[in-house]
Chains A and B, each alone.
Chain A
């Protein structure tokens, strides 16, 4: 890869199915990618779980697979791990096609949702297990396992069994066990799903800094968009067995490719209605007299306007305008639900400003054109 590589490694949707060289490595495998899959199909009987997944993850990158349940994210993870065998397609790990390789030979570290710690072994024995499989001398294996436990801050717990550890500690042991084998890739299946919220936030930070410190390539599955946003370098949004969008958290949030992505990541209001050209390259959408939204772009029947929740500007109206339907207190902000002919508009405002808008109040809503954009809806 040249020095002109993008600042963050890119996950690319490869347009075409790659040709295969005789040794099974796809001709178009990206030289720098730690992991790439191409045209991956998985079927469970009649059910088509993965429909041609093309994905490339660069070295040292932390990628989230995000989507609702049943979208195929777990199937993709399990296919990469080697527990599910694809009907078609390749999985290339550090330049070697592992699609035909059993899971045990792939050198992939996995943190399971249930942690899957061996209940009859101590923390240290759990961590050492993978090293024993690699026929490391016992002394060296123990030493490495101890180092890994120290890395996750659990040196003091080495002799404890999983049952004697808290959920957060079990999670760390599982992590230490997965990284001690120096895997080519780290897979995490809803790694923080079993923890309570406070601990989850703390672990998100720790997990990410550890991943960066080790420079390990990692892919994790989550259904929680906040978790994906806070940990991942880039997010792969999946739906119905296909990839919908691959982007950084910021871009995903600000420029969702489709209305569905916008809704799923909480990118804001999607307003769909008659778009009228105002002047060259600018369209306007009238919600009600006095409530007008402007957006740059060309009109199309599939277009909707994305207005982030916190960018909705409100002004008191007299007789006309829209009606405040409900108020929800979210802590730092207040969510106002406003009835409009195009559906409910949600506006996040500071609580002190929200005090001026009781339920039943008539308001005008608008938004700065700089924050609005056109999104394609299905």
Chain B
């Protein structure tokens, strides 16, 4: 026999065989799948169905299968203008976010770690702050007796308050304030992935700072700009609380009209039709985002 070197062997109880295997797929996914089916898929399906019913002022809706609502919405100048305005707001907010977000993202990407964390925390803090609170802040600032008007009157720059509340301008400001963090996240993400050696290489070849920014950094950050833009656009066109509060009922968007149709106007079929249009635009934008994101 071999010398008894392995005398350590088994003073210990052995591991007991596991007969029960508690992890079939359904155990993991069953509850969540069921929950989603009942409270996501079914309600959306009901909503889709609703958009094919007929409006009735007495009975909420009359069961039917008609595309009349879609035809109405697509041809009525009011709804066409409404959809166009929402899209236009989305474009403006996106453009402003790119212009404002880019310098900040550059600054964050170039900062040292501590400064970077502080700047990121400040930039992203609005994401954790109540939407109503943020909107309220702009109400206070932009109102006729608000702080901005008071200051401007005090220094004599204007003689009467600017009627900003209830204007498109204040809706845009509020939406930019909400969307900016998302844009900055996307931009910082892509800027940090640019190899610093590229910038040093450009510098060693004699490029000026402006040329490096214009010819190297900007082209390389296009995917980030695109991703951020799509996110911001989809958020801006479906935002609801901000346009309703800052628009003071005077800036109608698809979202505010949907709210109206489902609450006091009680025209569910047309409301559902508007929802479906908003949904299609959003899903289109987000699937484009998903594709870009996967490639990037």
- Name A residues whose Cβ lies closer than 8 Å to a Cβ of B: 1, 5, 9, 32, 34, 58-60, 102, 104-105, 107, 131, 133-136, 181-182, 184, 214-217
User: Most chain-B CB neighbours within 10 Å: which of A60, A107, A181, A215?
Assistant: A215
Q: A58-B2, A104-B18 are in contact. Are A216 and B12 (CB under 8 A)?
A: no
Closest chain A residue, CB of each to CB of B5: A215
**B18 and A102 form a contact (CB under 8 A):** yes
Asked if A59 and B5 make an inter-chain contact with CB atoms under 8 angstroms apart, the answer reads: yes
- Per the bound structure, the CA–CA distance linking A272 and B10 in Å amounts to 54
User: B residues 198-226 with Cβ under 8 Å of A?
Assistant: none
Nearest residue (CB) in B for A2 is B1
Cα A259 to Cα B7 in complex, Å, equals: 42
Q: Are A5 and B15 in contact (CB under 8 A)?
A: no
* B contact residues around A107 at 8 Å (CB): 14-15
Does B17 interact with chain A (Cβ within 8 Å)? yes
In the complex, chain A residues whose CB is within 8 Å of the CB of B5: 59-60, 215
Chain B residues whose CB sits within 8 angstroms of the CB of A59 once the complex forms: 2, 5-6
Give chain B residues whose Cβ lies under 8 Å from the Cβ of A134: 12-15
**Chain A residues with CB under 8 A of B1:** 1, 32
A32-B2, A58-B2 known; A133 vs B15 contact (CB < 8 Å): yes
| Distance of A102 Cα from B21 Cα, bound (Å) | 12
Q: Could you list 11 A-B pairs, sorted by A, with CB under 8 Å?
A: A1-B1, A34-B6, A59-B2, A60-B6, A104-B15, A105-B15, A105-B18, A107-B15, A134-B14, A136-B12, A181-B12
CA distance A136 to B14 in the complex (A): 10
Can you list the 5 inter-chain pairs with the closest CB atoms, starting with the nearest? A215-B5, A60-B5, A182-B8, A215-B6, A59-B2
The listed residue (B3, B6, B14) touching A217 by CB distance below 8 A is B6
A182 contacts B12, C-beta separation under 8 Å: yes
**Interface SS majority for chain A:** loop
Name the residue of chain B whose CB is nearest to the CB of A31. Answer: B1
B17, A182: Cβ atoms closer than 8 Å = no
A215-B8, A216-B8 are known; give 16 further A-B pairs, CB within 8 A.
A9-B2, A58-B2, A59-B2, A59-B5, A59-B6, A102-B18, A104-B18, A107-B15, A133-B15, A134-B13, A134-B14, A181-B12, A182-B8, A182-B10, A182-B11, A215-B7
* A-B contacts at CB below 8 angstroms, number: 49
Most chain B Cβ neighbours within 10 Å, of A34, A131, A182: A182
* A135 cross-chain contacts in B, Cβ below 8 A: 13, 16
Say whether B9 faces chain A, with CB atoms less than 8 Å apart: yes
A131–B15 alpha-carbon span in the complex (Å): 10
Which residue of chain B is the closest to A180 with respect to CB atoms?
B12
Chain B's interface size range is 10 to 19
Q: A residues within 8 A CB of B10?
A: 182
In the complex, residue of chain A having the shortest beta-carbon distance to the beta carbon of B7: A215
Chain A residues with Cβ under 8 A from B16's Cβ? Answer: 135
Chain A residues, Cβ within 8 Å of B8 = 182, 214-216
Closest CB-CB distance, B16 to chain A, in whole Å?
A: 8
A133 to B5, CA, bound (A): 26
The interface residues of chain A lying within 8 Å CB-to-CB of B6 are 34, 59-60, 215-217
A214 to B7 alpha-carbon distance, docked (Å): 9
Interface centre among B8, B15, B18 (most CB of A within 10 A): B15
Bound form: Cα–Cα A182–B1 in Å: 21
Residues of chain A lying within 8 A (CB to CB) of residue B12: 131, 134, 136, 181-182
For the complex, what is the distance from the CA of A136 to the CA of B16, rounded to whole Å?
A: 12
Which residues on B sit within 8 Å (CB–CB) of A217? Answer: 6
Residue of A nearest to B9 (CB): A182
| A215 closest partner in B (C-beta) | B5
Contact with A along B6-41 (1 / 0, CB 8 A): 111111111111100000000000000000000000
Partner of A1, one of B2, B15, B17: B2
- The answer to whether B13 and A136 have CB atoms under 8 Å apart is yes
Q: Once the chains are docked, how many angstroms separate the CA of A32 from the CA of B18?
A: 29
Cα separation A134 to B7 with both chains bound (whole Å): 19
* Residues from chain A with Cβ under 8 Å of B17 in the complex: 105
Question: How far is A5 from B10 in the complex, measured between Cα atoms in Å?
Answer: 25
B231 to chain A minimum Cβ distance, whole angstroms, is: 33
Distance of A175 Cα from B7 Cα, bound (Å): 19
Decide if B9 touches A184 in the complex (CB within 8 Å): yes
- Shortest distance between the CB of A92 and any CB in chain B (Å): 16
Residue of B nearest to A3 (CB): B1
- Which residues of chain A are within 8 angstroms of B3 by Cβ–Cβ distance? 60
A240-B13 Cα distance, complex, nearest whole Å: 39
Q: Are B2 and A60 in contact (CB under 8 A)?
A: yes
- Bound complex: CA A135 to CA B60 (Å): 65
CB distance from A136 to the nearest CB of B (A): 7
Closest to A131 in B: B12
- Tell me, in angstroms, the Cα distance from A367 to B17 when the chains sit together: 61
Q: How far in angstroms is the closest Cβ of chain A from B85?
A: 53
What's the least CB distance linking A181 to chain B, in Å? 7
CA–CA, A107 to B18, complex, Å? 14
Give the Cβ gap from B82 to chain A, nearest Cβ, in Å.
Answer: 54
**Residue among B9, B12, B14 facing the most chain A CB atoms (10 A cut-off):** B12
Report how far A181 CA is from B13 CA in the complex, Å: 10
The minimal Cβ–Cβ distance linking A36 to chain B, given in whole angstroms, is 15
A318 to B232 alpha-carbon distance, docked (Å): 81
- Report the bound CA distance from A73 to B9 in whole Å: 27
Q: How far apart sit A182 and B12, CA to CA, in the bound complex (Å)?
A: 8
- How far apart sit A158 and B12, CA to CA, in the bound complex (Å)? 22
Q: Which residue of B lies closest to A101 (CB)?
A: B17
Distance (Å) between the CB of A103 and the closest chain B CB? 10
Specify which chain B residues have a CB less than 8 angstroms from the CB of A216 in the assembled complex: 6, 8
Q: Which residue of A lies closest to B4 (CB)?
A: A215
Which chain B positions have C-beta within 8 A of A181? 12
Q: For A60, what are the chain B residues with a Cβ–Cβ distance below 8 Å? A: 2-3, 5-6
B72-103 vs A, CB cutoff 8 Å, 1 = contact: the mask equals 00000000000000000000000000000000
Interface string of B183-205 (1 = CB under 8 A from A): 00000000000000000000000
Shortest C-beta distance, A107 to chain B (Å), equals 6
CA–CA, A149 and B15, complex, Å? 22
CA distance A135 to B5 in the complex (A): 26
Smallest beta-carbon distance A193→chain B, Å: 27
